[in-house]
Amino acid sequence: MSEVTIIGVDLAKRVFQLHGAHQDGSVAFRKKLSRGQFLAFVAQQPKCLIAMEACATAHGWGREFEKLGHDVRL
């Protein structure tokens, strides 16, 4: 199967829901991660598009993901 091309993120205070998809739209993973696991997990993923809701914390997370080389859309 191909690499993950997009990761959808539902931001929260303590637990984050992630959904990764391949180019053809098939599910690559579904994860429930704590705040401490979140950035480390995304850092291990291939460079891809990360889509998040536009909320107060999304901009901060987006900057962190861009530092890792990901493309971010709010």
Other Cβ atoms closer than 10 A to 14? 7
Residue 58 has pLDDT above 70, yes or no: yes
Q: How confident is the model at residue 36 (pLDDT cuts 50, 70, 90)?
A: very high
What pLDDT is stored for residue 41 in this prediction? 98
The Cα–Cα gap between 35 and 26 comes to 26
pLDDT at position 1 is: 57
* Chain mean pLDDT for the chain: 95
> Of 26, 33, 38, 30, nearest to 1 (Cα)?
26
* 3-class SS of residue 5: strand
Percentage, residues of the chain above pLDDT 90: 95
Asked if 50 and 9 touch (Cβ cutoff 8 Å), the reply is yes
